[in-house]
């Protein structure tokens, strides 16, 4: 594991964006040889998306030959609902870049057969040649995507019921009304992300500090599903100072070099 | 961008680098247009997997819905209340010229006239879509002849009428036909006006109160029977009085039927209404304010004498009077001038000023689902303006129909 500690949110976002940008450019994607990117939603990656858009608008980065696979999507929320992950990705990323709509894959939470939708998504990833770089975040309860505490660490894309912690954390996006928050979601599995050739987890803010501690200083545990990445050959955790607040001084000093 | 032809035959245009008026705010968003309508790009992306065929850089301009003028008597030498042989080419000329003022739809207005004029002119005003040929015609606005003699303003007294035994039938006989009529201005204190208002409202015609000495309860009764507009507030009506606010009192009346809104036209040319009065009206009822030009034939022409129906008027700068008097008679202001003056006089936001000339008239006429906004699936009638609200380009159904010459002509 690499643990990259930046001073604040903006610097962490920029570091992560630069890393993604460089990975794509070094790969030299072209017709028939796409760079596949796994993408997250939520507050944490917003700064990173803004930076990627900036690089694109500067002419430094094109998404023409990039395929994307989002981690998750709510079940039962209309696709054009302002809080759906389709809306999030359109407003915060897709509408600002030159990605081919056929290459932007997001799970359909309104599919008539949800498990079939999940299976098809796994197949699409496989047909795309697997994921080159999966970017993710971490929940306060240590979840990756919607792999809530107790999720199998070898799980695949499937339907999940959301934990109360997650529903409470999401309430702020639904006018604080718990009854409006979706209770189920389709999500890539821990195993699905583990299959990626490289994984980058973004963690910023003091409220994520305990989850980061559990993820990297304690053992691999299905109650803190991000801990699974201790067993991935190429994972980078990108965080800001606040996110390290629950780590041992020794750990932080080691990774700061 | 990858080729789009497999998605749709109709080209998709993306206007970038602009601020659009949407949801009552200027937002940094692109505007997407296809087949003459505003397109939802998110739906295009996810449902159709489509993207833009053409991208146009708007260089930071403001994009607003096209202006809608519901009271315009003519312009550029053309008088809509005059039954000339070349009436049709006259209306075409005006509809073309006002594109440069940002007007994409209008209601040609006829002042009080003898029945023969209505019978000759009305059939020649066809409701039609706008385009490169000119702004769209929404229908005629008949201002009179059922108005008050005491508040005739510039209207010819000998043509003013009341409702006789036939009430609505009298109106029909006077006008000849109501085909293509969109708005009728009348004075509600005239006997039997209530039933006339009801009949007009039943036929989907907007009834406006104006050129009247009605008191507040008469005005409120008219509203209860269906009236929804006030013709050039303050002008040609009783002044506001604190014990009987008259028609002006409708702005804050509590007798408006639930779910309905009373709109009021304002000529914000700096002459018809003192800025302080404009501000009072705006602050009392901001959502009802509709900017109108009430422009006459002399608009766009040099100062001097011009006709307005049966009268002769004199233009001096922005002032227009009945020749030889101090009675105001229409204006020579253009719609974009009115918008700028309104912005300056009230200190309101740019969004508010733009909506007073687009969204509000559309709401008045009940067409806000396709005109007056930049909402998805609306008609793509829009303007490019600079920050001072000068019109740089006018689009109707997604096509550019006027653009400011680089030399500023």
Q: What percent of chain A has pLDDT over 70?
A: 100
Same domain for B386 and B264?
A: no
Same domain for B254 and B193?
A: yes
**CATH number of the domain bearing residue B257:** 3.20.20.140
Looking at CA atoms only, how far is residue B42 from chain A in angstroms?
A: 7
Q: Which of B11, B14, B18, B12 is nearest to B55 (CA)?
A: B14
Instruction: Write the DSSP string, B320-386.
Output: EEETTS--B--B---HHHHHHHHHHHH---HHHHHHHTTHHHHHHTT-TTTSSS--TTSB--EEEE-
Q: Are B62 and B19 in contact (CB under 8 A)?
A: yes
Confirm whether A72 is a catalytic residue: yes
Helix, strand, coil percentages in chain B from 3-state DSSP, rounded to 5? 25, 25, 45
Same domain for B257 and B286?
A: yes
Q: Which of B268, B237, B264 is nearest to B331 (CA)?
A: B268
For residue range B96-120, list pLDDT tens digits in order: 999 999 999 999 999 999 999 999 9
Same domain for B265 and B311?
A: yes
Is the sign of the CA dihedral B13, B19, B21, B24 positive or negative? positive
Same domain for B49 and B165?
A: no
- Cβ-defined contact of B45 to A95 (cutoff 8 Å): yes
Q: For residue B133, what is the DSSP state?
A: T
Same domain for B41 and B172?
A: no
Same domain for B56 and B104?
A: no
Same domain for B188 and B271?
A: yes
Q: Report the relative pairing of strands B12-16 and B54-57 from DSSP bridges.
A: parallel
Q: What percent of chain B has pLDDT over 90?
A: 84
Same domain for B360 and B262?
A: yes
Domains and CATH numbers, chain A: 2-256 (3.40.50.1360)
**CATH number of the domain bearing residue B385:** 2.30.40.10
**CA–CA separation, B207 and B328 (whole Å):** 23
Give the ipTM of the model, two decimals please: 0.92
For residue range B209-240, list pLDDT tens digits in order: 999 999 999 999 999 999 999 999 999 999 99
pTM of the model: 0.91
For residue range B322-356, list pLDDT tens digits in order: 888 887 777 899 999 999 999 999 999 999 999 99
Q: Is residue B2 part of a domain?
A: no
- Cβ-defined contact of B46 to A64 (cutoff 8 Å): no
Who's near A257: CB < 8 A, 6+ residues apart?
Answer: none
Q: How large is the greatest C-alpha to C-alpha distance in chain B, in angstroms? A: 70
- A91 — phi, psi (to 5°)? -70, -35
User: What domain range is B18 assigned to?
Assistant: 12-64+374-403
The contact set of B with A (CB < 8 A) is: 1-2, 30, 41-46, 48-51
Same domain for B98 and B23?
A: no
- Cβ-defined contact of A80 to B2 (cutoff 8 Å): no
Residues making up the binding site of B: 143, 154, 211, 232, 235-236, 243, 272, 328-330
Active-site residue identified among B79, B269, B294, B381: B294
Looking at CA atoms only, how far is residue B45 from chain A in angstroms?
A: 6
**CA–CA separation, A96 and A116 (whole Å):** 31
For residue range A184-210, list pLDDT tens digits in order: 999 999 999 999 999 999 999 999 999
pLDDT of residue B6 exceeding 60? no
Same domain for B275 and B301?
A: yes
Number of domains forming the structure of chain B: 2
Select the residue from A101, A102, A110 to test the B interface by mutation, using most B Cβ atoms within 10 A: A101
């Amino acid at each position: 594991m690499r643990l990259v500690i930046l001073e604040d949110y903006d610097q962490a976002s920029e570091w992560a964006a630069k890393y993604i940008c460089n990975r794509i450019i070094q790969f030299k994607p072209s017709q028939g040889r796409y760079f596949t990117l796994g993408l997250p939603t939520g507050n944490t990656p917003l700064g990173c998306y803004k930076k990627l858009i900036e690089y694109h608008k500067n002419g430094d980065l094109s998404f023409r030959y990039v395929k994307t696979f989002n981690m998750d999507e709510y079940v039962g929320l209309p696709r054009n609902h302002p809080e759906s992950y389709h809306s999030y990705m359109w407003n915060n990323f897709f509408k600002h870049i030159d990605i081919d709509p056929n290459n932007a894959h997001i799970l359909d939470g309104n599919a008539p057969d949800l498990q079939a939708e999940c299976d098809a998504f796994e197949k699409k990833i496989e047909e795309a040649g697997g994921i080159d770089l999966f970017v993710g975040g971490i929940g306060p309860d240590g979840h990756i995507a919607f792999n809530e505490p107790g999720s199998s660490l070898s799980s695949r894309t499937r339907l999940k019921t959301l934990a109360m912690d997650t529903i409470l954390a999401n309430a702020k996006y639904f006018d604080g009304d718990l009854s409006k928050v979706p209770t189920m979601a389709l999500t890539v599995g821990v195993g699905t992300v583990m299959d990626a050739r490289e994984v980058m987890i973004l963690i910023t803010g003091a409220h994520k500090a305990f989850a980061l501690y559990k993820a990297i200083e304690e053992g691999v545990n299905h109650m803190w599903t991000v801990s699974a990445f201790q067993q991935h050959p190429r994972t980078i955790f990108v965080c800001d100072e606040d996110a390290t607040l629950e780590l041992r001084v020794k750990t932080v000093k080691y990774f700061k070099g | 961008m990858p080729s789009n032809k497999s998605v749709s035959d109709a080209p998709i245009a993306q206007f970038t680098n602009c601020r659009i008026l949407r949801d009552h705010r200027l937002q940094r968003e692109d505007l997407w247009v296809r087949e003459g309508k505003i397109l939802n790009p998110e739906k295009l992306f996810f449902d159709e997997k489509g993207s833009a065929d053409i991208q146009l850089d708007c260089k930071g301009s403001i994009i607003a819905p096209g202006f809608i003028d519901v009271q315009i008597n003519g312009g550029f030498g053309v008088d809509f209340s005059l039954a000339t042989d070349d009436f049709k080419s006259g209306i075409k000329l005006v509809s073309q010229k006002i594109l440069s003022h940002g007007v994409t739809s209008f209601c040609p207005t006829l002042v009080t006239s003898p029945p023969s004029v209505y019978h000759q002119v009305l059939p020649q005003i066809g409701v039609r879509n706008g385009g490169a040929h000119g702004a769209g015609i929404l229908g005629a606005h008949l201002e009179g002849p059922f108005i008050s003699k005491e508040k005739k303003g510039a209207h010819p007294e000998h043509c003013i009428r009341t409702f006789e035994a036939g009430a609505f039938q009298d109106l029909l006989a006077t006008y000849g036909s109501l085909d293509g009529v969109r708005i009728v201005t009348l004075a509600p204190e005239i006997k039997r006006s209530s039933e006339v208002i009801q009949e007009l409202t039943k036929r989907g015609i907007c009834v406006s109160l104006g050129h009247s000495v009605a008191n507040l309860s008469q005005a409120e009764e008219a509203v209860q029977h269906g009236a929804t507009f006030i013709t050039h507030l303050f002008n040609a009506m009783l002044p506001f009085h604190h014990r009987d606010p008259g028609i002006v009192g409708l702005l804050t009346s509590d007798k408006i039927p639930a779910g309905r809104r009373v709109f009021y036209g304002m000529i914000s040319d700096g002459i018809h209404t003192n800025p302080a009065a404009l501000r009072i009206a705006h602050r009392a009822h901001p959502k009802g304010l509709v900017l109108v030009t009430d422009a006459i034939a002399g608009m766009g022409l040099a100062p001097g004498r011009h006709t307005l129906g049966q009268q002769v008027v004199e233009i001096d700068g922005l002032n227009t009077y009945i020749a030889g008097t101090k009675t105001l008679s229409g204006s020579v202001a253009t719609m974009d001038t009115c918008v700028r003056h309104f912005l300056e006089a009230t200190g309101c936001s740019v969004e508010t000023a733009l909506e007073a000339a687009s969204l509000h008239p559309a709401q008045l006429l009940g067409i806000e689902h396709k005109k007056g906004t930049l909402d998805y699936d609306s008609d793509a009638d829009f303007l490019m303006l600079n920050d001072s609200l000068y019109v740089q380009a006018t689009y109707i159904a997604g096509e550019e129909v006027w653009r400011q010459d680089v030399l500023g002509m």
